[in-house]
Amino acid sequence: MIGLISATAAGAAARDRLAAAWPDRTRVYEGPVGDAVRAAFAQCEQLVCFLATGAVVRLVAPLLSGKTEDPGVVCVDEGGRFAVSLLGGHAGGANELAREVGDLLGAEPVVTTATDAVDLPGLDTLGLPVEGDVAGVSRALLDGEAVALRAEVAWPLPPLPVTDQGSHTIRLTDRLVEAAEREVVLRPPTLVVGVGASRGAPVEEVLGLVEGALREAGLSVASVAELATVDAKAEEAGIVEAARRLGVPLVTYSAGELAGVDVPNPSDAPLAAVGTPSVAEAAALVGGGELLVPKRKSAASPAMATCAVVRRPGRGRLAVVGLGPGARDLLTPRAQAELRRASVLVGLDQYVDQIRDLLRPGTLILESGLGAEEERARTAVEEARKGQAVALIGSGDAGVYAMASPALAEASDDIDVVGVPGVTAALAAGAILGAPLGHDHVSISLSDLHTPWEVIERRVRAAAEADIVVTFYNPRSRGRDWQLPKALGILAEHRTPATPVGVVRNASRADESSRLTTLGALDPTTVDMMTVVTVGNTATRDIAGRMVTPRGYRWQAAQEGAR
């Protein structure tokens, strides 16, 4: 919960805007400011104070406990110009909250944590449990000293300026080890603990078994990703409470799923009880991985719990990111976040140049020229399979005539794939022209490099006969100069010469140009590969110089009747 505190009318107005935007995330604290700050500090994970920073410093100073316990505090000035991350920038989430508040109120976020100032990911912001000399290793990164990465398990990290050797170390491991001097230990969630239990098994027995098995195997409980069991035990109190105390989800599988898993230690007892010869081992192994701790029973007599531990291989992450039509303000916040998260960027060289300034230091850039789409797709998938966090970029929406299709054709289920939508060329051009896509519409690429012309022509003819608005991508190049006239001719068999046609070149970019013409007047030689051509249907009209396709035909009938 975010506590909101204000002292003036202007502060209250800004406060109420946040409360209205985030009704489920915020709570307004009224009354004397000192009492309100103290109450919110004790009850909330974060605070937004519409007060001077000096006043907030004096109010919260006596309340501080430590960076891992204190809430994040953001201050917004009286004029609403700045959102200052004052306390708990990383651990309390105040840096990100300052950015969110800034976006909502139109204020400039002020973040002074050193790693953020130089665009390095903070070691305590990676979403992994962290131990050791966080401050010392962070200083080494900031000072440009050699910091070694020892990755004992694969896990997709954001870009970090690390080397093979160094006086400081970042160790990525699920082993039960203590951080050495000048070392940070990161705990990725690689371990799955399968659990079985008799009815009424006490939580102390289940939890003691799990923790003991991990400890004896030299594994860290901080790397446990989940407890897993059979559906029949989904509400077994001892298992449910053990998962809660460990702070991990409880995942369940049907007896049929578990019975199909090959395990080293099957038993007749669970087969008779729940319909599968293995619960603990099968539940841990159902997603694949290395069995580190075979089935073991609790020490109680009679034993009421069993467990097994599996290390699942770290999964790489491939984000397929649409950059939009080119304008920076049409690049979505989600796309920017994925670019900053990626340790490897794969893309066409001219698209890489568009967003190079958004990448964090240390990002590996793998760029290539036109015509290497399949190679880029293979490269991105290969890098993800190495356990990397990869961003594969394309213009517009990556799923529309771009990189998502070849990449997903290469990818199997051994990596995580995230699609990040972008503003397509058709949408950008449509917004410039007016509302040409107000009714049914279709996009067709006239490039026959990957699709036979016979197929393209059949699709154009179908759109023409169905009276659908058509947007042509890749309409004409120096080597392909006859396809656009041919496609326009097909449409002209079903539409009048007066049908509106919109032509937009370099939509949203500095040299953007657009014009509204007609099917009969369009000169195909004025069109190139940077152009999108939108041909209206029989209802599309030129209204005040804008291309408009009505949402329904009753509107058109009413207009015709009025004439």
Tokens matching residue 98 = 């300052």
Spatial contact of 393 and 355, defined as CB atoms under 8 Å apart: yes
Tokens matching residue 560 = 């015709």
pLDDT at residue 271 is higher than 80? no
- In the predicted model, what is the mean pLDDT of the chain? 90
pLDDT at residue 141 is higher than 80? yes
- How distant, in Å, are the alpha carbons of 5, 72, 125, 222 from that of 128? 32, 19, 8, 9
What does the alpha-carbon distance between residue 227 and residue 236 come to, in Å, rounded to a whole number?
A: 13
Q: What share of the chain is helix, strand, coil (3-state, %, to 5)?
A: 35, 25, 40
- How distant, in Å, are the alpha carbons of 259, 320, 328, 339 from that of 417? 29, 7, 24, 14
DSSP state of 244: H
Tokens matching residue 93 = 């989430």
Q: Phi and psi dihedrals of 257, rounded to 5?
A: -60, -45
Residue range 522-547: mean pLDDT, rounded: 94
pLDDT for position 158: 86
pLDDT for position 553: 60
For residue 348, give the H/E element and its range: strand 344-348
pLDDT at residue 555 is higher than 60? no
pLDDT for position 427: 95
The tens digit of pLDDT for each residue in 374-394 reads: 999 999 999 999 889 999 999
The model's pTM is: 0.74
Tokens matching residue 247 = 């702070």
pLDDT for position 162: 85
Tokens matching residue 91 = 């651990």
pLDDT band of residue 559 (cuts 50, 70, 90) is low
pLDDT at residue 556 is higher than 60? no
Q: What end-to-end distance do the CA atoms of the chain give, in Å? A: 60
Spatial contact of 452 and 425, defined as CB atoms under 8 Å apart: no
pLDDT band of residue 502 (cuts 50, 70, 90) is very high
The tens digit of pLDDT for each residue in 294-334 reads: 999 998 889 899 999 999 988 899 999 999 998 999 999 89
Q: Using CB atoms within 10 A of its CB, is residue 370 exposed (0-12), middle (13-18) or buried (19+)?
A: exposed
Spatial contact of 344 and 234, defined as CB atoms under 8 Å apart: no
What does the alpha-carbon distance between residue 486 and residue 470 come to, in Å, rounded to a whole number?
A: 14
Beta bridge partners, 371, equal none
Closest alpha carbon to 83 in 92, 71, 70, 96: 96
Residue range 462-484: mean pLDDT, rounded: 93
The tens digit of pLDDT for each residue in 164-184 reads: 888 999 999 999 999 999 999
The tens digit of pLDDT for each residue in 40-94 reads: 989 999 999 999 889 889 998 998 888 778 899 999 988 889 999 999 888 788 8
Cis preceding linkage at 333, omega within 30? no
Closest alpha carbon to 421 in 279, 518, 320: 320
pLDDT for position 10: 87
Tokens matching residue 400 = 């529309």
The residue type at 343 = S
The tens digit of pLDDT for each residue in 182-226 reads: 999 999 999 999 999 999 999 999 999 999 999 999 999 999 999
